[in-house]
């Protein structure tokens, strides 16, 4: 093609057709410019296609993370609901005059003192932020909701840290000081199998009576009951945060699914 252009230009010059030569040269330049523009357009299209593919991959991974977090938020909402119920049982009993019914609170004891951190899955989002690829998300609504959800997650973690501090300071010390967990070994058949020891009825009666005494002392302990009160007052707060985050997760999944379906 280049040889053809050169041959044509040379022929026009040799024939003294300067005007035609100039027109031809200009036309040739225009063709070259058009060719360059087309090449750039194709290159831009390829780059945009690659970026779009990376974006879609991120969106698919975000969906997986969001589904996991939706389930997690539901589970922890249920845990806090049980904690709230347990705290109310303990507080109600603390005002009761019938202390013989102390064993009625035992089924709720584990819900009060146990602790579990919520491990929110932010792997994909954090990777996008650290790599600077968050801007690859072309849908502004999705990007905004991702940032809002991240803020909500941080709010939950801040509340969790405060709750954990209260648990460690108010609930655990009196439990360790006042409560002999060894008695449970004698009162639960499954524990007997674990320690390979069978207790007689007389022994179980003794441990049951000791267990009752310690449980009453624990409920009368000011520090422990302050911890129970904190659980009761904070449970409703964190549950509302869980529900808010869960709704944001559901809304974000809906947006992302629409974006993925439109691409298909």
What pLDDT shows up at residue 178? 80
Q: Per residue in 51-109, pLDDT tens?
A: 889 999 999 999 999 999 999 999 999 999 999 999 999 999 999 888 888 888 888 88
How crowded is residue 106: how many other Cβ atoms within 10 Å of its Cβ? 14
Predicted TM-score (pTM) of the model is 0.78
Average pLDDT over residues 39-45: 62
Average pLDDT over residues 165-190: 85
How crowded is residue 145: how many other Cβ atoms within 10 Å of its Cβ? 18
- The burial of 65, by beta-carbon neighbours within 10 Å (0-12 exposed, 13-18 middle, 19 or more buried), is given as middle
What pLDDT shows up at residue 24? 52
Residue labelled with tokens 């230009």 = 9
Q: Per residue in 217-242, pLDDT tens?
A: 989 999 999 999 999 999 999 999 99
């Amino acid at each position: 093609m280049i040889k053809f252009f050169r041959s044509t230009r040379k022929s026009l010059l040799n024939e003294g057709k300067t005007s035609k030569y100039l027109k031809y040269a200009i036309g040739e330049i225009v063709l070259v410019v058009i060719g360059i523009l087309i090449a750039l357009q194709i290159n831009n299209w390829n780059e945009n296609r690659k970026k779009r593919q990376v974006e879609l991959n991120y969106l698919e991974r975000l969906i997986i993370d969001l589904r996991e977090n939706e389930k997690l938020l539901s589970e922890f909402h249920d845990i806090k609901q049980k904690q709230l119920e347990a705290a109310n049982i303990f507080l109600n009993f603390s005002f009761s005059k019938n202390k013989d019914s102390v064993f009625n609170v035992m089924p709720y004891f584990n819900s009060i003192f146990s602790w579990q951190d919520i491990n929110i899955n932010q792997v994909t989002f954090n990777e996008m932020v650290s790599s600077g690829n968050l801007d690859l998300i072309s849908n502004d609504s999705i990007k905004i909701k991702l940032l809002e959800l991240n803020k909500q997650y941080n709010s939950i973690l801040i509340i969790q840290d405060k709750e954990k501090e209260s648990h460690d300071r108010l609930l655990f010390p009196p439990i360790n000081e006042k409560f002999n967990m060894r008695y449970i070994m004698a009162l639960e058949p499954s524990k007997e199998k674990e320690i390979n020891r069978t207790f007689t009825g007389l022994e179980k009666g003794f441990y049951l009576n000791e267990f009752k005494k310690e449980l009453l002392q624990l409920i009368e302990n000011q520090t422990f009951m302050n911890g129970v009160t904190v659980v009761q007052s904070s449970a409703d707060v964190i549950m509302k945060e869980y529900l808010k985050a869960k709704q944001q997760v559901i809304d974000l999944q809906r947006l992302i699914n629409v974006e993925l379906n439109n691409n298909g």
